A and B are shown apart, each in its own frame.
Chain A
Amino acid sequence: MDCVVTGGNVKVLAKAIHSLSRIGDELYLEPQEDGLALRSVNSSRSAYACFLFSPLFFSRYTIPLGHAFRCKMAIKCVQAVFRSLSSLEKTVEKCHIELDGEKSRLTFTLHCKHGLLKTHNLSFQDSESLQAVFDKESCANMLRAQPRLLVDTVLHFPPSLEEVSVSVSGERVWFRNHVDDEAEQSKAMLTELCLSSDEFDHFAVGAQTSITFCLKELRGLLVFAESTGLPVSMYFDESGSPVVLSVTDSVLEVNFVLATLSDDSNLCNHNNNTKRARSPPPPDDFMTDDIDSYLIAMETSELAGPSDALAPRSPSPNHTLTTPPSVAMRRLERGEEEEEEDTEDTERPPNKKFRSLFFGSVCPSDSQLTNQTIKSQEVLASDSEDDTQASLP
């Protein structure tokens, strides 16, 4: 992979990364044919963001041929590359992103004035695909506004406010702070801002609806949108369905998908299911006993060659279940907790298959596992963690 971003676009890229840092701790990077996708998700899976930079955004855009490459890195590391936005603007002429396959490093080289080169080598972990399931076009309600309007709106709420409720009806929209703690309700100050449809570029409302979602993540998008001056579109249905916030132009498409409270739940965080992901939330620690035995069982089931053709993942308006039915698992020495993508290399031993637990994937039912006879365990590479896992029954 080899991409070059020049001029003002470097700052846009930097802002995108800062924006993503407000969502989650890891940056998922995936060069696709239709552009470079940068994604992040929060730990409770209630917020997801994707920045897709089309090839036109870059002055050079070369992606690895054939197999797909996906990786993830600690977002703080990437932020460190683009640390000071104001000095970026003044000194950086271009940014070169290259993949060093051998050393598993992504190299960010900033070409600055006076011939100065700043090179950052960031190591990454291979990762599975990360995509939220959502369909903007089918949403009943859509509002589009200049970012300034939304920025002015959230200004009325304190920075500490967690959740905001948005209600629409006819010609009006109301933004209210959401107080979900019973004890606080009698003492909390309630703020409500009413905007008329006149203030929006586009205002299409079906039935009267009210949704509640996390304000913090919205602010992350607004900071980005305001700097680009692009209008923000908000797509939503009834409460419980995720709200999609988009910013689009000819070279960039940004989507923030935020879970909304459904009527009978208390907090966004408790309700991962609002994201329409069919899988249960993935456990954070993959070294628990259950996962280990599951991993081992899977290891011994569908042994096969390199990963099958992957389902199309282009960000068309209809995002469907995106994780491919089988995600090959790399040797366990690489990022021990991760089920990783096979970055095709025919010289490697045959890869195991494993179903990702992330968004929209389907886990095999238990009965499937128990029916498998345990074949001989193939240890692909020795490693202390490998040994302990391989030794489990």
Chain B
Amino acid sequence: MKFRAKMIDVGCLNHFTRVVNTISKLTKTCILRLTPNNLYFVLSGKVASGGVGMWCELSQANFFDEYQLEGVAPDANEICLEVTPENLSRALRTSQNAKCVKIKLTKKHCPCLTLVAELPTLSSVSRVVTHDIPVDVIPRRLWHDFKEPRMPDFDVSIYLPPLKTMKNVVDRMKNLSNFLVMEANLNGEMNLKIETDLVSVTTHFKDLGNPPWGDDGSQGRSQSRDPEVMAHTRVDIRKLQQFLMGQQVNPSKAMCNIVHKRIIHLILLHEDVSLQYFIPAVA
């Protein structure tokens, strides 16, 4: 198993750092899958993460100038690691002006992702910062847990309102209730609702637009749907808040698929990064 990658471009470094920062705000630990073409930050949606699932895909060519990977076996040319994204975030944070950042898989006191940044100095010799981030190697037999999640058969798919606005609304709602209902219809309308014994609050969004998914099979259910009918799902408000808090960059596209009473599937697309986040329904 071997992994070495190098980043030279400051813009790429900044962008990568922002992605890692976002991931670090979403979860304490996650799986990092390294394949010849992509990097994935994955949360498998099991009980341990509160049922929340995450799939973040980066195309390595958009970030790294050099990228060498030798997976666990020739027919399984990838590496699967459990990492704490906060460590990676910390390591990257102070290396933003580095001339060059190298990441490699090493074996120190335990398997580590080692990040080496060469920082510019006035003298002829660079300052070198080395961060050894302990990781756990995930054995092949567990890899099936970390495959790309299937797009659920959603009832409604809708573009999200500006994330900042949503965050402000959800932040205030969180003070009143632990659970929030998100509902949307094919008419571009979305409501965020909370209801307690004393009060119920609903925020309405209109004219959001619905993504044109086209005619593939998974959209069967939504084709014949009455555009006025809302599909709704009740979720733990903190999970939604956590998702919204972590977003550092405005995505080019932000949308949400709702499976009635089952799951909320949030999708954010940036130029070279895609992030999917699954929040399960609560009773």
Residue numbers in A under 8 Å from B125 (CB-CB): 196, 198-199
Report the 10 A-B pairs with minimum CB-CB distance, sorted nearest first.
A198-B123, A196-B125, A190-B132, A189-B87, A192-B130, A194-B128, A156-B94, A193-B129, A191-B131, A189-B133
Assuming the contacts A186-B109, A196-B125, A198-B123, asked whether A191 and B130 have C-beta atoms less than 8 A apart, the reply is yes
Q: B-facing mask of A94-129, CB < 8 A → 1, else 0?
A: 000000000000000000000000000000000000
**Is B110 touching A190 in the complex (CB atoms < 8 A)?**
no
**Is B134 touching A199 in the complex (CB atoms < 8 A)?**
no
Assuming the contacts A186-B110, A186-B134, asked whether A191 and B123 have C-beta atoms less than 8 A apart, the reply is no
**Interchain CB contact (< 8 A) of A188 among B121, B123, B134:** B134
Interface residues of B in 202-232 (CB under 8 A from A): none
**Is A199 touching B87 in the complex (CB atoms < 8 A)?**
no
Residue numbers in B under 8 Å from A185 (CB-CB): 109
Residue numbers in A under 8 Å from B124 (CB-CB): 198
Q: Considering the complex, give the chain B residue whose CB is closest to the CB of A185.
A: B109
Question: Binding site of A, secondary structure by majority: helix, strand, loop or mixed?
Answer: mixed
**In whole Å, how far is B135's beta carbon from the nearest beta carbon of chain A?**
10
Q: Does B90 sit within 8 A of A, measured CB to CB?
A: yes
Q: Given A189-B87, A195-B127, 17 other A-B contacts at CB below 8 A?
A: A155-B94, A156-B94, A185-B109, A189-B84, A189-B132, A190-B131, A192-B130, A192-B131, A193-B127, A193-B128, A193-B129, A194-B128, A194-B130, A196-B127, A198-B123, A199-B122, A199-B123
Residue numbers in A under 8 Å from B90 (CB-CB): 158, 189
Q: Does B28 sit within 8 A of A, measured CB to CB?
A: no
Q: Considering the complex, give the chain B residue whose CB is closest to the CB of A198.
A: B123
Docked pose: A390 CA to B132 CA in angstroms? 62
Interface residues of B in 46-102 (CB under 8 A from A): 84, 87, 90-91, 94
**Is A191 touching B91 in the complex (CB atoms < 8 A)?**
yes
**Total CB contacts across the A-B interface at under 8 A:** 52
Q: Does A187 sit within 8 A of B, measured CB to CB?
A: yes
B residues adjacent to A (C-beta < 8 A): 84, 87, 90-91, 94, 108-110, 121-125, 127-134
Docked pose: A188 CA to B133 CA in angstroms? 7
**Interchain CB contact (< 8 A) of A192 among B84, B109, B129:** B129
**Is B94 touching A199 in the complex (CB atoms < 8 A)?**
no
Residue numbers in A under 8 Å from B132 (CB-CB): 189-192
**Is A189 touching B131 in the complex (CB atoms < 8 A)?**
yes
**In whole Å, how far is B155's beta carbon from the nearest beta carbon of chain A?**
43
**In whole Å, how far is B86's beta carbon from the nearest beta carbon of chain A?**
9
Q: B-facing mask of A168-203, CB < 8 A → 1, else 0?
A: 000000000000000001111111111110110000
The interface centre, meaning the residue of A185, A187, A190 with most chain B CB atoms within 10 A of its CB, is A190
Residue numbers in B under 8 Å from A193 (CB-CB): 127-130
**In whole Å, how far is B169's beta carbon from the nearest beta carbon of chain A?**
32
Interface residues of A in 244-261 (CB under 8 A from B): none
Q: Considering the complex, give the chain B residue whose CB is closest to the CB of A158.
A: B90
Residue numbers in B under 8 Å from A192 (CB-CB): 129-132
**In whole Å, how far is B87's beta carbon from the nearest beta carbon of chain A?**
4
Docked pose: A156 CA to B122 CA in angstroms? 18
The interface centre, meaning the residue of B124, B130, B133 with most chain A CB atoms within 10 A of its CB, is B130
**In whole Å, how far is A147's beta carbon from the nearest beta carbon of chain B?**
15
**Interchain CB contact (< 8 A) of A189 among B121, B127, B128, B134:** B134
